[in-house]
Structure formats: structure tokens, C-alpha cells
Amino acid sequence: MSDAPILTDRHALDLHRARAARSPALFLHEAAAAELKERLIEVNKSFTSPLLIGHVSEALLEAMPNAAVIADTPRLDVQQAAQDLVIHAFGLHWADDPVGQLVQSRLALQPDGLFLGIMFGGSTLQELRAVLAEAETQVTGGLSPRVLPMADIRDLGGLLQRAGFALPVADSMKLTVRYPDFPALVRDLRGMGETNALAQRHRSPTHRAVFETADRLYREHYSDDEYLIATFEIVFLTGWAPAETQQQPLRPGSAKVRLSDALGVPETPLKRD
């Protein structure tokens, strides 16, 4: 839907997700699915035509057993105004054009339909990014794309607005995972389908010394002496397809009652310098 630069090797990403399905480590998907169910309960609305998009795990399927499922391809296989709930799961951080994915998701929604996006945020694997960059610089004297760059939550709410969603909200939860060693972390990333699928990645094998150095640096800087510490930030994006029945914010200055009167407290004028 745009001329966005190519970030992701889609073929590699599909292979990584297929490998993860054979040997999964999807505890973060399970945590997200549990949070998703809680959020839908709070919405207090029945959905009859839900749609799941992206890296859809068993945990998400169990949370939404009646949902249709499609891949997070650049052009989504959706029909306009066909769904009352769209959940975009663990795919937006890999999207070359995340706004395009959001716009297509909004167009797939009926008026007042709900969009929920689940993705990894900017704090995810901050420790791994740091040690890999330092290790590769020490060993090879250069850097190569290894860990997916991820958006800050402050920017993601703006993407919802750009995509035309009403009542946009972006919030997150951070999870700290402890690993006995560097290979255990890498195994879990493979089991999540989140290993390097960057289009500009180096295709030649990485020198063993890079990973050995990264393991040493990880223990020096991001461990509790016994375990390596890894941060994962799961971001939830929430927005509604615009509808005339939705509550609208009041115009600035249109209030008919002073806030101090409503709270029952005296009003204190600001002091000028």
C-alpha cells in the first residue's frame, strides 16, 4: 500500500514461524492471550465476526476459537466492513508498512468495530541488542543488522491516529525472563519465530567468536551472577472504527461547571512570575 522500504525477508520470516510451530516456546503468546481475554471482558461487548491476523499461536486460537485467521501479508486478505473485531497478533513489528497494516485492519471493521494489536515494543531484547553490537564490533570491527528495530510506545499511539482509528490507546506490559546461558535465549527466540529475518541481514555464517564474546558481555553487564536477564515489552494497541454513535470529546472551553465546583474544593489562581 506504500513505497515503504523493505525491512523484512518475508520468506525467512515464514520459515522461522514454521520452525517455531514444530518446536514452540510461546510463553509470551500465552501471556498476551491471557491479557487479551481480560481486555475483551472489560469491553463488555459481544463479537460475532472476529478476525485474527499474523503469528497466531494455539493460545490465541483458544482465546478466540470462532475467529477466522489470515496471514499478515503486505496486502491483507480482508473484505471491507466485514468484521466486528480484528486482532493483529505479533506481526506489526515485522511490517514494512505498519500504518498500511493498520489502515487495512480499520477498513475491514464494521462501524464501531474494535481493533486490538499485539506486538513487541522498543524495550524488547534491549540487552541482546547492546551485547551483540559490542561483540561484533570487538571481533569484526563492524556491525550488521541482527536484531529487529522496534518502535517506542510513544510513537505507536500516533500510528493508530494516522490510520484513522477513533479513541486510540497504546499501552504495554514488560516481562523479565531469566536464562541460564546465551544459547538458551537463542533457543527461545527460535521457538517464538523471532530470530533474524531482516532483509539486509548478512547471509554468511556468523563467526563463533561473536557469540562467545556476546555471552561474556551479557554475563558482565546483564546478569544476576547466575542468570542472564532478558526484557520483553508486549505492546497492546487499541482503537475503534469510527461511528456516529461513539462518544465524542467536548470542545475546549465548552464546560458549564468549574472543576473546583465539581470537586468541592476552593479554586486557587495561578501566581504570575
Average pLDDT, integer, range 11-30: 95
Provide the mean pLDDT of the chain: 90
pLDDT of residue 250: 54
Task: Say if residues 215 and 97 touch (Cβ distance below 8 Å).
Answer: no
pLDDT of residue 127: 96
pLDDT of residue 50: 97
Average pLDDT, integer, range 134-155: 85
* Cα dihedral value 199, 200, 205, 210, nearest 10: -120
pLDDT of residue 204: 80
- What's the rounded Cα separation, in Å, for the pair 218 and 226? 11
Enumerate the H helices of 85-207 as residue ranges.
Answer: 98-108, 126-140, 153-162, 182-192
Higher pLDDT pick, 143 / 121: 121
In degrees, rounded to 5, the angle at the alpha carbon of residue 116 between the alpha carbons of residues 111 and 119 is 150
Taking only the tens place, the pLDDT of each residue in 208-232 is 899 899 999 999 999 997 999 999 9
- CA nearest 159: which of 82, 95, 224, 251? 95
Bridge partners, 51 (sequence order): 68, 86
Task: Say if residues 81 and 243 touch (Cβ distance below 8 Å).
Answer: no
Angle between helices 126-140 and 208-221 (to 10 degrees): 130
Burial group, residue 101, by CB count within 10 angstroms (0-12, 13-18, 19+):
buried
Taking only the tens place, the pLDDT of each residue in 39-55 is 999 998 999 999 999 99
Q: 69 pLDDT band (50/70/90 cuts)?
A: very high
Average pLDDT, integer, range 89-114: 97
Burial group, residue 93, by CB count within 10 angstroms (0-12, 13-18, 19+):
buried
Domains, the chain, in order of start with CATH, read 10-244 (3.40.50.150)
Rounded alpha-carbon distances, angstroms, from residue 173 to 64, 117, 121, 236: 21, 13, 9, 8
Average pLDDT, integer, range 78-92: 97
Higher pLDDT pick, 247 / 226: 226
pLDDT of residue 147: 78
Average pLDDT, integer, range 18-42: 95
CB atoms within 10 A of CB 97: 16
pLDDT of residue 74: 95
Of 75-79, 148-152, 188-192, minimum mean pLDDT range? 148-152
Q: 244 pLDDT band (50/70/90 cuts)?
A: confident
249 pLDDT higher than 60: no
Q: 205 pLDDT band (50/70/90 cuts)?
A: confident
In degrees, rounded to 5, the angle at the alpha carbon of residue 102 between the alpha carbons of residues 112 and 121 is 115
pLDDT of residue 81: 97
